[in-house]
Structure 1
Amino acid sequence: MNQIVVVGSVNLDVVLDVDRLPRAGETVIARGVRTNLGGKGANQAAAARISAGGVTFVGRVGADDAGVRLRDELSAAGVHVDLLAQAPGVPSGVAYIQVGAGDNTIVVASGANATFTELAPAEVDAVRAATVVVCQLEIPDPVVEQVAQVASGRLVLNAAPARPLPDAVTSRCDPLVVNETELAEFTGTDTGSVESVLVAAQTMRAQGVRSVVVTLGGAGAVWVDAGGSGHHRASAVPVVDTTGAGDLFVGTLAAQLAAGAPLSTAVSVGTAVASLSVTRPGTIASYPTPAEVAAVVAGVSTR
Protein backbone atom coordinates (compact mmCIF):
# COMPACT_ATOMS: atom_id res chain seq x y z
CA MET A 1 0.00 0.00 0.00
CA ASN A 2 1.22 3.47 -0.80
CA GLN A 3 1.40 5.91 2.08
CA ILE A 4 0.40 8.88 -0.05
CA VAL A 5 -1.95 9.22 -3.01
CA VAL A 6 -1.96 12.55 -4.84
CA VAL A 7 -5.06 13.27 -6.92
CA GLY A 8 -4.54 16.28 -9.12
CA SER A 9 -3.21 18.15 -12.10
CA VAL A 10 -0.23 17.48 -14.33
CA ASN A 11 1.00 19.96 -16.94
CA LEU A 12 3.87 20.56 -19.28
CA ASP A 13 5.45 23.78 -18.00
CA VAL A 14 6.75 26.23 -20.60
CA VAL A 15 8.99 28.56 -18.62
CA LEU A 16 10.31 31.91 -19.87
CA ASP A 17 13.18 33.46 -17.93
CA VAL A 18 12.97 37.28 -18.07
CA ASP A 19 14.83 40.12 -16.38
CA ARG A 20 11.53 41.40 -15.01
CA LEU A 21 7.86 40.55 -15.45
CA PRO A 22 6.20 42.61 -18.19
CA ARG A 23 3.59 45.25 -17.48
CA ALA A 24 0.19 45.07 -19.19
CA GLY A 25 0.65 45.65 -22.93
CA GLU A 26 4.43 45.45 -22.75
CA THR A 27 6.72 43.09 -24.69
CA VAL A 28 9.94 41.86 -23.09
CA ILE A 29 12.66 39.59 -24.46
CA ALA A 30 13.24 36.33 -22.58
CA ARG A 31 16.75 35.19 -21.74
CA GLY A 32 15.70 31.61 -22.43
CA VAL A 33 12.87 29.09 -22.49
CA ARG A 34 12.64 25.63 -20.95
CA THR A 35 10.00 22.93 -20.63
CA ASN A 36 9.50 20.56 -17.74
CA LEU A 37 7.04 18.49 -15.73
CA GLY A 38 4.64 20.66 -13.75
CA GLY A 39 1.12 21.10 -12.41
CA LYS A 40 0.33 21.38 -8.72
CA GLY A 41 -0.56 17.71 -8.42
CA ALA A 42 2.56 16.41 -10.14
CA ASN A 43 4.82 18.83 -8.26
CA GLN A 44 3.33 17.81 -4.92
CA ALA A 45 3.68 14.12 -5.74
CA ALA A 46 7.34 14.55 -6.68
CA ALA A 47 7.91 16.60 -3.53
CA ALA A 48 6.28 14.00 -1.29
CA ARG A 49 8.32 11.20 -2.88
CA ILE A 50 11.58 12.85 -1.76
CA SER A 51 10.94 11.67 1.79
CA ALA A 52 7.94 9.30 1.60
CA GLY A 53 8.21 5.59 0.93
CA GLY A 54 5.43 5.24 -1.61
CA VAL A 55 3.55 7.87 -3.61
CA THR A 56 0.91 7.22 -6.28
CA PHE A 57 -0.37 9.88 -8.66
CA VAL A 58 -3.94 9.88 -9.96
CA GLY A 59 -4.69 12.22 -12.86
CA ARG A 60 -5.19 12.65 -16.59
CA VAL A 61 -2.89 13.40 -19.53
CA GLY A 62 -3.69 13.72 -23.23
CA ALA A 63 -2.97 11.17 -25.94
CA ASP A 64 -0.03 13.21 -27.19
CA ASP A 65 3.75 13.43 -26.98
CA ALA A 66 3.49 15.71 -23.97
CA GLY A 67 1.46 13.06 -22.15
CA VAL A 68 4.16 10.46 -22.74
CA ARG A 69 6.83 12.85 -21.51
CA LEU A 70 4.87 13.81 -18.39
CA ARG A 71 4.30 10.17 -17.47
CA ASP A 72 7.98 9.33 -17.98
CA GLU A 73 9.24 12.31 -15.94
CA LEU A 74 6.85 11.66 -13.06
CA SER A 75 7.90 8.00 -13.03
CA ALA A 76 11.57 9.05 -13.09
CA ALA A 77 10.86 11.08 -9.93
CA GLY A 78 9.91 7.81 -8.22
CA VAL A 79 6.15 8.32 -8.31
CA HIS A 80 3.86 5.40 -9.25
CA VAL A 81 1.97 6.34 -12.44
CA ASP A 82 -0.21 3.26 -13.06
CA LEU A 83 -3.27 5.42 -12.31
CA LEU A 84 -2.24 8.33 -14.53
CA ALA A 85 -4.82 7.78 -17.25
CA GLN A 86 -4.96 9.00 -20.83
CA ALA A 87 -7.87 11.21 -21.88
CA PRO A 88 -8.54 10.66 -25.61
CA GLY A 89 -9.19 13.55 -27.93
CA VAL A 90 -7.73 16.33 -25.80
CA PRO A 91 -4.18 17.66 -25.32
CA SER A 92 -2.24 17.43 -22.09
CA GLY A 93 -2.36 20.43 -19.79
CA VAL A 94 0.15 23.21 -20.40
CA ALA A 95 1.26 26.02 -18.06
CA TYR A 96 2.93 29.16 -19.39
CA ILE A 97 5.20 30.61 -16.73
CA GLN A 98 7.22 33.83 -16.68
CA VAL A 99 10.00 34.02 -14.09
CA GLY A 100 11.76 37.29 -13.36
CA ALA A 101 13.31 39.10 -10.38
CA GLY A 102 12.48 36.19 -8.08
CA ASP A 103 8.76 36.26 -8.91
CA ASN A 104 6.50 34.58 -11.45
CA THR A 105 3.22 34.70 -13.34
CA ILE A 106 1.41 31.55 -14.48
CA VAL A 107 -1.37 30.93 -17.02
CA VAL A 108 -2.70 27.37 -17.32
CA ALA A 109 -4.47 25.68 -20.24
CA SER A 110 -6.03 22.74 -18.37
CA GLY A 111 -6.38 20.33 -21.30
CA ALA A 112 -6.82 16.75 -20.08
CA ASN A 113 -7.00 17.89 -16.46
CA ALA A 114 -10.43 19.41 -17.17
CA THR A 115 -11.78 16.00 -18.22
CA PHE A 116 -10.99 14.48 -14.83
CA THR A 117 -14.45 14.48 -13.24
CA GLU A 118 -14.70 11.03 -11.69
CA LEU A 119 -12.47 8.44 -10.05
CA ALA A 120 -12.32 5.05 -11.76
CA PRO A 121 -12.86 1.99 -9.50
CA ALA A 122 -9.12 1.29 -9.13
CA GLU A 123 -8.58 4.95 -8.26
CA VAL A 124 -11.29 4.80 -5.60
CA ASP A 125 -9.52 1.80 -4.07
CA ALA A 126 -6.18 3.62 -4.03
CA VAL A 127 -7.64 6.74 -2.41
CA ARG A 128 -9.50 4.69 0.18
CA ALA A 129 -6.36 2.75 1.15
CA ALA A 130 -3.97 5.72 1.45
CA THR A 131 -2.62 6.99 4.75
CA VAL A 132 -2.66 10.54 3.38
CA VAL A 133 -4.50 11.81 0.31
CA VAL A 134 -3.43 15.10 -1.28
CA CYS A 135 -5.65 17.11 -3.60
CA GLN A 136 -5.72 20.59 -5.18
CA LEU A 137 -8.25 22.69 -7.13
CA GLU A 138 -6.63 22.55 -10.58
CA ILE A 139 -9.04 19.69 -11.32
CA PRO A 140 -12.85 19.79 -11.50
CA ASP A 141 -14.99 19.96 -8.35
CA PRO A 142 -16.79 16.59 -8.81
CA VAL A 143 -13.59 14.57 -8.42
CA VAL A 144 -12.46 16.69 -5.45
CA GLU A 145 -15.80 16.02 -3.77
CA GLN A 146 -15.52 12.31 -4.54
CA VAL A 147 -12.02 12.20 -3.05
CA ALA A 148 -13.31 13.81 0.15
CA GLN A 149 -16.11 11.25 0.28
CA VAL A 150 -14.08 8.08 -0.22
CA ALA A 151 -10.77 8.91 1.52
CA SER A 152 -10.43 7.06 4.80
CA GLY A 153 -7.03 8.50 5.70
CA ARG A 154 -5.98 12.08 6.25
CA LEU A 155 -7.02 14.54 3.52
CA VAL A 156 -4.65 17.40 2.70
CA LEU A 157 -6.37 19.85 0.37
CA ASN A 158 -4.41 22.68 -1.20
CA ALA A 159 -7.32 25.00 -2.04
CA ALA A 160 -5.64 26.68 -5.00
CA PRO A 161 -6.84 28.31 -7.09
CA ALA A 162 -9.37 29.36 -4.45
CA ARG A 163 -13.07 28.85 -5.09
CA PRO A 164 -16.11 28.03 -2.90
CA LEU A 165 -16.14 24.51 -1.50
CA PRO A 166 -19.02 22.52 0.01
CA ASP A 167 -18.95 21.72 3.73
CA ALA A 168 -18.67 18.03 2.85
CA VAL A 169 -15.19 18.80 1.48
CA THR A 170 -13.91 21.38 3.97
CA SER A 171 -15.04 19.31 6.97
CA ARG A 172 -12.68 16.52 5.84
CA CYS A 173 -9.61 18.73 5.38
CA ASP A 174 -6.81 18.00 7.84
CA PRO A 175 -5.33 20.40 6.93
CA LEU A 176 -6.78 22.82 4.41
CA VAL A 177 -3.71 24.56 2.94
CA VAL A 178 -4.07 28.11 1.55
CA ASN A 179 -1.98 31.24 1.15
CA GLU A 180 -3.02 34.53 2.73
CA THR A 181 -4.81 35.72 -0.42
CA GLU A 182 -6.81 32.51 -0.67
CA LEU A 183 -7.57 32.68 3.06
CA ALA A 184 -8.99 36.18 2.58
CA GLU A 185 -11.20 34.88 -0.24
CA PHE A 186 -12.56 32.08 1.94
CA THR A 187 -13.16 34.19 5.04
CA GLY A 188 -13.77 37.69 3.67
CA THR A 189 -11.48 39.09 6.36
CA ASP A 190 -8.22 41.03 6.49
CA THR A 191 -5.09 38.90 6.26
CA GLY A 192 -2.50 41.66 6.19
CA SER A 193 -0.61 40.54 9.28
CA VAL A 194 0.36 37.28 10.95
CA GLU A 195 -2.05 38.06 13.79
CA SER A 196 -4.98 38.57 11.39
CA VAL A 197 -4.06 35.38 9.52
CA LEU A 198 -4.16 33.42 12.78
CA VAL A 199 -7.58 34.85 13.60
CA ALA A 200 -8.94 34.03 10.13
CA ALA A 201 -7.52 30.49 10.27
CA GLN A 202 -9.05 29.94 13.69
CA THR A 203 -12.37 31.18 12.31
CA MET A 204 -12.20 28.58 9.52
CA ARG A 205 -11.49 25.85 12.02
CA ALA A 206 -14.43 26.97 14.16
CA GLN A 207 -16.59 26.65 11.06
CA GLY A 208 -15.75 22.96 10.71
CA VAL A 209 -12.34 22.59 9.03
CA ARG A 210 -10.28 20.10 11.05
CA SER A 211 -7.03 22.05 10.69
CA VAL A 212 -5.73 24.95 8.63
CA VAL A 213 -2.27 25.84 7.30
CA VAL A 214 -1.60 29.24 5.74
CA THR A 215 1.56 29.82 3.73
CA LEU A 216 2.98 33.35 3.90
CA GLY A 217 5.85 33.27 1.41
CA GLY A 218 8.97 34.75 2.94
CA ALA A 219 7.17 35.15 6.27
CA GLY A 220 6.82 31.38 6.72
CA ALA A 221 3.55 29.63 7.60
CA VAL A 222 0.79 29.61 10.21
CA TRP A 223 -1.02 26.51 11.47
CA VAL A 224 -4.15 25.91 13.55
CA ASP A 225 -5.49 22.58 14.79
CA ALA A 226 -7.23 21.07 17.80
CA GLY A 227 -4.00 21.24 19.80
CA GLY A 228 -3.34 24.94 19.29
CA SER A 229 -1.78 27.26 16.76
CA GLY A 230 1.58 28.71 15.79
CA HIS A 231 3.76 30.57 13.31
CA HIS A 232 6.93 29.12 11.81
CA ARG A 233 9.16 31.76 10.27
CA ALA A 234 11.05 31.16 7.04
CA SER A 235 14.80 31.63 6.84
CA ALA A 236 16.03 34.77 5.11
CA VAL A 237 17.49 33.53 1.82
CA PRO A 238 18.38 35.03 -1.58
CA VAL A 239 15.35 34.36 -3.80
CA VAL A 240 16.07 33.14 -7.34
CA ASP A 241 12.81 31.43 -8.39
CA THR A 242 9.66 30.83 -6.33
CA THR A 243 7.98 28.56 -8.90
CA GLY A 244 6.83 25.33 -7.26
CA ALA A 245 7.91 26.28 -3.73
CA GLY A 246 4.33 26.15 -2.47
CA ASP A 247 3.89 22.68 -3.99
CA LEU A 248 7.13 21.53 -2.37
CA PHE A 249 5.75 22.77 0.96
CA VAL A 250 2.52 20.78 0.50
CA GLY A 251 4.27 17.59 -0.62
CA THR A 252 6.75 17.77 2.26
CA LEU A 253 3.92 18.46 4.71
CA ALA A 254 2.06 15.39 3.46
CA ALA A 255 5.15 13.20 3.76
CA GLN A 256 5.72 14.33 7.34
CA LEU A 257 2.08 13.71 8.28
CA ALA A 258 2.20 10.26 6.68
CA ALA A 259 5.26 9.52 8.85
CA GLY A 260 3.28 10.44 11.97
CA ALA A 261 4.63 13.93 12.65
CA PRO A 262 2.32 16.42 14.39
CA LEU A 263 1.06 19.28 12.24
CA SER A 264 3.35 21.82 13.90
CA THR A 265 6.44 19.77 13.04
CA ALA A 266 5.22 19.07 9.50
CA VAL A 267 4.73 22.81 8.91
CA SER A 268 8.15 23.62 10.34
CA VAL A 269 9.85 21.08 8.06
CA GLY A 270 7.82 22.19 5.04
CA THR A 271 8.72 25.83 5.61
CA ALA A 272 12.44 25.10 5.89
CA VAL A 273 12.49 22.81 2.86
CA ALA A 274 10.58 25.33 0.71
CA SER A 275 13.14 27.99 1.69
CA LEU A 276 15.85 25.82 0.16
CA SER A 277 14.10 25.57 -3.20
CA VAL A 278 13.62 29.30 -3.81
CA THR A 279 17.40 29.77 -3.86
CA ARG A 280 17.59 27.64 -7.04
CA PRO A 281 16.10 27.95 -10.54
CA GLY A 282 13.43 25.62 -11.81
CA THR A 283 10.47 23.81 -10.33
CA ILE A 284 11.08 20.13 -9.51
CA ALA A 285 14.71 20.71 -10.53
CA SER A 286 15.01 23.06 -7.55
CA TYR A 287 13.67 20.55 -5.04
CA PRO A 288 16.10 19.26 -2.39
CA THR A 289 17.56 15.79 -2.19
CA PRO A 290 16.42 13.21 0.38
CA ALA A 291 19.60 13.92 2.35
CA GLU A 292 18.83 17.64 2.45
CA VAL A 293 15.29 16.97 3.68
CA ALA A 294 16.61 14.52 6.28
CA ALA A 295 18.99 17.21 7.55
CA VAL A 296 16.08 19.64 7.90
CA VAL A 297 14.02 17.04 9.78
CA ALA A 298 16.95 16.35 12.11
CA GLY A 299 17.36 20.07 12.76
CA VAL A 300 13.67 20.53 13.57
CA SER A 301 13.65 17.52 15.91
CA THR A 302 16.54 18.91 17.98
CA ARG A 303 14.96 22.33 18.60
Structure 2
Amino acid sequence: MRRVLCQEFADPERLTVVQEPDPRPGPGQVLVEVEAAAVSFVDGLIARGGYQLRPPLPFTPGNAVAGRAGGERVLVLLPSFGGLTSHLVADTDLLVPVPDGVHPRIAASAAENYGTMAFALEHRVAVRPDEWVVVLGASGAIGLAAIDCARAAGARVLAVASAQGKRDAALAAGAQAAIGYDDLKTAIREHTGGGADVVVDPVGGPAAEAALRALGPGGRFCVLGFTSGEIPRLPANVVLLRNRTVVGVDWGDWSRSDPAAARDLAADVLRRIARGELHPPEPTPLPLDEVTTATRAYAERTAVGKFVLIP
Protein backbone atom coordinates (compact mmCIF):
# COMPACT_ATOMS: atom_id res chain seq x y z
CA MET A 1 0.00 0.00 0.00
CA ARG A 2 0.96 3.65 -0.44
CA ARG A 3 -0.25 6.32 1.93
CA VAL A 4 0.23 9.99 2.73
CA LEU A 5 2.02 10.61 6.01
CA CYS A 6 2.23 13.68 8.22
CA GLN A 7 5.15 13.31 10.63
CA GLU A 8 5.14 16.82 12.11
CA PHE A 9 2.80 19.78 12.40
CA ALA A 10 4.41 22.41 10.20
CA ASP A 11 3.42 25.45 8.14
CA PRO A 12 3.55 24.95 5.23
CA GLU A 13 2.48 21.35 5.63
CA ARG A 14 5.07 18.67 4.87
CA LEU A 15 3.28 15.58 3.62
CA THR A 16 5.13 12.59 2.20
CA VAL A 17 4.05 9.34 0.55
CA VAL A 18 5.35 6.06 2.00
CA GLN A 19 5.20 2.45 0.82
CA GLU A 20 4.13 -0.19 3.34
CA PRO A 21 2.70 -3.74 3.40
CA ASP A 22 -1.03 -3.95 2.79
CA PRO A 23 -3.02 -3.95 6.05
CA ARG A 24 -4.90 -7.09 7.11
CA PRO A 25 -8.51 -6.91 8.29
CA GLY A 26 -9.52 -8.41 11.61
CA PRO A 27 -12.91 -9.69 12.80
CA GLY A 28 -15.74 -7.43 11.65
CA GLN A 29 -13.45 -5.60 9.24
CA VAL A 30 -12.81 -5.54 5.50
CA LEU A 31 -9.96 -4.45 3.24
CA VAL A 32 -10.93 -1.52 1.01
CA GLU A 33 -9.10 -0.88 -2.26
CA VAL A 34 -9.32 2.90 -2.53
CA GLU A 35 -10.26 4.29 -5.96
CA ALA A 36 -10.69 7.93 -4.87
CA ALA A 37 -9.79 9.72 -1.63
CA ALA A 38 -11.22 13.17 -0.92
CA VAL A 39 -8.93 16.00 0.18
CA SER A 40 -10.42 18.86 2.21
CA PHE A 41 -9.40 22.26 3.54
CA VAL A 42 -9.34 20.71 7.02
CA ASP A 43 -6.74 18.10 6.01
CA GLY A 44 -4.16 20.80 5.34
CA LEU A 45 -5.21 22.79 8.40
CA ILE A 46 -4.65 19.77 10.66
CA ALA A 47 -1.27 19.04 9.05
CA ARG A 48 -0.22 22.62 9.76
CA GLY A 49 -1.30 22.32 13.40
CA GLY A 50 -4.01 24.93 13.02
CA TYR A 51 -7.07 22.81 13.81
CA GLN A 52 -8.70 22.07 17.16
CA LEU A 53 -7.96 18.36 16.70
CA ARG A 54 -4.36 17.17 16.82
CA PRO A 55 -4.08 13.44 16.07
CA PRO A 56 -1.06 11.56 17.39
CA LEU A 57 1.93 11.77 15.03
CA PRO A 58 2.58 10.32 12.56
CA PHE A 59 -0.85 10.12 10.95
CA THR A 60 -2.51 9.89 7.55
CA PRO A 61 -5.06 12.65 6.80
CA GLY A 62 -8.36 12.09 5.03
CA ASN A 63 -11.84 11.04 6.12
CA ALA A 64 -13.78 10.03 3.00
CA VAL A 65 -12.85 7.41 0.43
CA ALA A 66 -14.63 5.40 -2.25
CA GLY A 67 -13.48 2.06 -3.58
CA ARG A 68 -14.16 -1.65 -3.52
CA ALA A 69 -14.50 -4.06 -0.62
CA GLY A 70 -15.06 -7.72 -1.42
CA GLY A 71 -16.15 -6.74 -4.92
CA GLU A 72 -18.75 -4.24 -3.68
CA ARG A 73 -18.65 -0.52 -4.47
CA VAL A 74 -18.49 1.36 -1.17
CA LEU A 75 -17.98 4.73 0.47
CA VAL A 76 -16.21 4.88 3.82
CA LEU A 77 -16.45 7.77 6.27
CA LEU A 78 -13.55 7.36 8.68
CA PRO A 79 -14.00 8.65 12.24
CA SER A 80 -10.27 9.16 12.87
CA PHE A 81 -8.45 10.01 9.65
CA GLY A 82 -6.44 7.56 7.49
CA GLY A 83 -8.14 8.07 4.12
CA LEU A 84 -5.33 9.33 1.87
CA THR A 85 -4.08 5.86 1.01
CA SER A 86 -4.34 3.11 -1.59
CA HIS A 87 -5.68 0.48 0.86
CA LEU A 88 -7.27 0.64 4.27
CA VAL A 89 -9.02 -1.57 6.78
CA ALA A 90 -12.51 -0.44 7.79
CA ASP A 91 -15.15 -1.76 10.14
CA THR A 92 -18.01 -3.24 8.14
CA ASP A 93 -20.53 -0.98 9.88
CA LEU A 94 -18.80 2.06 8.35
CA LEU A 95 -19.45 0.96 4.76
CA VAL A 96 -21.98 2.90 2.68
CA PRO A 97 -23.11 1.27 -0.60
CA VAL A 98 -22.43 3.39 -3.67
CA PRO A 99 -25.36 3.24 -6.12
CA ASP A 100 -24.87 2.34 -9.76
CA GLY A 101 -24.15 5.38 -11.87
CA VAL A 102 -22.30 7.27 -9.12
CA HIS A 103 -18.57 7.42 -9.97
CA PRO A 104 -16.13 6.75 -7.10
CA ARG A 105 -14.66 10.25 -7.54
CA ILE A 106 -18.12 11.79 -7.11
CA ALA A 107 -18.92 9.56 -4.12
CA ALA A 108 -15.70 10.44 -2.31
CA SER A 109 -15.76 14.15 -3.11
CA ALA A 110 -19.43 14.61 -2.22
CA ALA A 111 -19.35 12.73 1.07
CA GLU A 112 -18.02 15.49 3.31
CA ASN A 113 -19.22 18.68 1.63
CA TYR A 114 -22.69 17.41 0.66
CA GLY A 115 -22.96 15.63 3.99
CA THR A 116 -22.11 18.90 5.72
CA MET A 117 -24.70 20.85 3.76
CA ALA A 118 -27.43 18.23 4.16
CA PHE A 119 -26.72 18.33 7.90
CA ALA A 120 -26.76 22.15 7.88
CA LEU A 121 -29.90 22.74 5.80
CA GLU A 122 -31.95 19.78 7.03
CA HIS A 123 -30.85 19.28 10.65
CA ARG A 124 -29.49 22.62 11.89
CA VAL A 125 -31.80 24.99 10.02
CA ALA A 126 -34.89 24.23 7.96
CA VAL A 127 -34.70 25.88 4.55
CA ARG A 128 -38.09 26.44 2.97
CA PRO A 129 -39.03 26.86 -0.70
CA ASP A 130 -38.55 30.37 -2.11
CA GLU A 131 -36.37 31.51 0.79
CA TRP A 132 -33.20 33.41 -0.07
CA VAL A 133 -30.02 31.56 0.89
CA VAL A 134 -26.78 33.56 0.69
CA VAL A 135 -23.64 31.48 0.25
CA LEU A 136 -20.25 33.01 1.05
CA GLY A 137 -17.18 31.42 -0.53
CA ALA A 138 -19.58 30.13 -3.14
CA SER A 139 -17.06 28.56 -5.52
CA GLY A 140 -15.42 26.32 -2.95
CA ALA A 141 -16.43 22.72 -2.34
CA ILE A 142 -18.75 23.62 0.55
CA GLY A 143 -20.11 26.63 -1.32
CA LEU A 144 -21.01 24.67 -4.45
CA ALA A 145 -22.63 21.96 -2.33
CA ALA A 146 -24.60 24.63 -0.45
CA ILE A 147 -25.90 26.06 -3.73
CA ASP A 148 -26.94 22.63 -4.99
CA CYS A 149 -28.61 21.53 -1.74
CA ALA A 150 -30.46 24.83 -1.29
CA ARG A 151 -31.64 24.75 -4.90
CA ALA A 152 -32.87 21.17 -4.41
CA ALA A 153 -34.88 22.40 -1.40
CA GLY A 154 -36.61 24.98 -3.60
CA ALA A 155 -34.73 27.97 -2.21
CA ARG A 156 -33.26 30.86 -4.20
CA VAL A 157 -29.51 31.30 -3.92
CA LEU A 158 -27.36 34.42 -3.94
CA ALA A 159 -23.71 33.42 -4.34
CA VAL A 160 -20.83 35.54 -3.02
CA ALA A 161 -17.33 35.01 -4.42
CA SER A 162 -14.23 37.11 -4.88
CA ALA A 163 -13.58 36.76 -8.63
CA GLN A 164 -15.68 36.61 -11.77
CA GLY A 165 -14.52 33.10 -12.65
CA LYS A 166 -15.62 31.90 -9.22
CA ARG A 167 -18.96 33.66 -9.57
CA ASP A 168 -19.44 32.00 -12.97
CA ALA A 169 -18.89 28.61 -11.33
CA ALA A 170 -21.53 29.44 -8.71
CA LEU A 171 -24.03 30.47 -11.37
CA ALA A 172 -23.36 27.24 -13.28
CA ALA A 173 -24.12 25.32 -10.07
CA GLY A 174 -27.59 26.87 -9.86
CA ALA A 175 -27.32 30.21 -8.06
CA GLN A 176 -29.84 32.81 -9.21
CA ALA A 177 -27.31 35.61 -8.88
CA ALA A 178 -23.68 36.09 -7.90
CA ILE A 179 -21.94 39.12 -6.39
CA GLY A 180 -18.55 40.12 -4.95
CA TYR A 181 -17.76 41.21 -1.41
CA ASP A 182 -17.93 44.98 -1.97
CA ASP A 183 -20.61 46.74 0.15
CA LEU A 184 -21.91 43.29 0.97
CA LYS A 185 -24.76 44.20 3.32
CA THR A 186 -26.35 46.58 0.81
CA ALA A 187 -25.83 44.19 -2.10
CA ILE A 188 -27.46 41.28 -0.27
CA ARG A 189 -30.46 43.37 0.75
CA GLU A 190 -30.93 44.65 -2.79
CA HIS A 191 -30.75 41.21 -4.40
CA THR A 192 -33.01 39.52 -1.84
CA GLY A 193 -35.66 42.23 -1.67
CA GLY A 194 -34.90 43.39 1.85
CA GLY A 195 -32.90 40.69 3.58
CA ALA A 196 -31.69 37.11 3.37
CA ASP A 197 -33.40 34.23 5.13
CA VAL A 198 -30.27 32.08 5.56
CA VAL A 199 -26.55 32.79 5.30
CA VAL A 200 -24.09 29.92 4.82
CA ASP A 201 -20.61 31.08 5.92
CA PRO A 202 -17.55 28.83 5.65
CA VAL A 203 -15.29 31.88 5.24
CA GLY A 204 -15.45 34.06 8.37
CA GLY A 205 -13.49 37.32 8.38
CA PRO A 206 -15.05 40.76 7.89
CA ALA A 207 -17.69 39.46 5.45
CA ALA A 208 -19.41 37.57 8.27
CA GLU A 209 -20.72 40.61 10.14
CA ALA A 210 -21.85 42.30 6.93
CA ALA A 211 -23.81 39.19 5.95
CA LEU A 212 -25.27 38.88 9.45
CA ARG A 213 -26.51 42.47 9.25
CA ALA A 214 -28.13 41.67 5.88
CA LEU A 215 -30.40 38.98 7.35
CA GLY A 216 -34.12 39.70 7.34
CA PRO A 217 -36.53 39.05 10.24
CA GLY A 218 -36.01 35.58 11.68
CA GLY A 219 -32.90 35.09 9.56
CA ARG A 220 -30.49 32.23 10.32
CA PHE A 221 -26.71 32.53 10.10
CA CYS A 222 -24.82 29.23 9.68
CA VAL A 223 -21.21 29.21 10.89
CA LEU A 224 -19.29 26.46 9.07
CA GLY A 225 -15.66 27.52 9.29
CA PHE A 226 -13.05 30.19 8.73
CA THR A 227 -11.20 29.63 5.46
CA SER A 228 -10.20 33.31 5.50
CA GLY A 229 -8.07 32.55 8.55
CA GLU A 230 -9.94 35.12 10.63
CA ILE A 231 -12.56 34.20 13.24
CA PRO A 232 -15.17 36.98 13.33
CA ARG A 233 -16.63 38.51 16.47
CA LEU A 234 -20.35 38.68 15.75
CA PRO A 235 -22.12 41.46 17.70
CA ALA A 236 -24.84 40.08 19.96
CA ASN A 237 -27.03 43.16 19.50
CA VAL A 238 -27.24 42.47 15.76
CA VAL A 239 -28.32 38.89 16.53
CA LEU A 240 -30.98 40.21 18.91
CA LEU A 241 -32.42 42.65 16.39
CA ARG A 242 -35.06 41.16 14.09
CA ASN A 243 -34.91 37.82 15.97
CA ARG A 244 -31.90 36.48 14.13
CA THR A 245 -30.23 33.17 14.98
CA VAL A 246 -26.58 32.12 14.76
CA VAL A 247 -26.16 28.35 14.32
CA GLY A 248 -22.95 26.32 14.50
CA VAL A 249 -22.57 23.55 11.90
CA ASP A 250 -19.87 21.01 12.82
CA TRP A 251 -20.60 17.96 10.68
CA GLY A 252 -17.30 16.35 11.68
CA ASP A 253 -18.08 16.38 15.40
CA TRP A 254 -21.62 15.14 14.76
CA SER A 255 -20.44 12.34 12.47
CA ARG A 256 -17.87 11.18 15.04
CA SER A 257 -20.43 11.23 17.86
CA ASP A 258 -23.14 9.46 15.83
CA PRO A 259 -21.47 7.49 13.02
CA ALA A 260 -24.63 5.51 12.23
CA ALA A 261 -26.58 8.72 11.57
CA ALA A 262 -23.71 10.10 9.48
CA ARG A 263 -23.63 6.89 7.45
CA ASP A 264 -27.40 7.08 6.86
CA LEU A 265 -27.13 10.72 5.80
CA ALA A 266 -24.30 9.88 3.38
CA ALA A 267 -26.33 7.01 1.92
CA ASP A 268 -29.26 9.37 1.35
CA VAL A 269 -26.99 11.93 -0.35
CA LEU A 270 -25.65 9.23 -2.70
CA ARG A 271 -29.19 8.05 -3.52
CA ARG A 272 -30.20 11.62 -4.35
CA ILE A 273 -27.17 12.00 -6.59
CA ALA A 274 -28.05 8.75 -8.38
CA ARG A 275 -31.64 10.00 -8.91
CA GLY A 276 -30.40 13.28 -10.36
CA GLU A 277 -31.73 15.43 -7.51
CA LEU A 278 -28.26 16.64 -6.57
CA HIS A 279 -25.52 17.49 -9.06
CA PRO A 280 -22.03 17.54 -7.51
CA PRO A 281 -19.40 18.87 -9.90
CA GLU A 282 -16.66 16.63 -11.18
CA PRO A 283 -13.70 16.93 -8.78
CA THR A 284 -10.14 17.58 -9.89
CA PRO A 285 -8.17 14.29 -9.73
CA LEU A 286 -4.54 14.25 -8.62
CA PRO A 287 -2.07 11.43 -7.97
CA LEU A 288 -1.29 10.64 -4.35
CA ASP A 289 2.14 12.29 -4.63
CA GLU A 290 0.54 15.67 -5.38
CA VAL A 291 -1.41 15.91 -2.15
CA THR A 292 0.15 19.27 -1.22
CA THR A 293 -1.02 20.74 -4.54
CA ALA A 294 -4.55 20.26 -3.20
CA THR A 295 -4.01 21.28 0.41
CA ARG A 296 -2.18 24.47 -0.55
CA ALA A 297 -4.79 25.42 -3.16
CA TYR A 298 -7.39 25.24 -0.38
CA ALA A 299 -5.19 27.24 2.01
CA GLU A 300 -4.54 29.94 -0.60
CA ARG A 301 -8.24 30.04 -1.59
CA THR A 302 -7.44 29.40 -5.26
CA ALA A 303 -9.34 26.10 -5.42
CA VAL A 304 -12.63 25.88 -7.30
CA GLY A 305 -14.57 22.81 -6.25
CA LYS A 306 -13.06 19.66 -4.79
CA PHE A 307 -9.86 17.63 -5.18
CA VAL A 308 -9.59 13.85 -4.98
CA LEU A 309 -6.46 11.72 -4.91
CA ILE A 310 -6.28 8.67 -7.16
CA PRO A 311 -3.97 6.12 -5.48
**TM-score over 0.5 for the pair:** no
Question: Max radius of gyration: which structure?
Answer: 2
User: Which structure's relative contact order is higher, taking Cα pairs within 8 Å and 6+ residues apart?
Assistant: 2
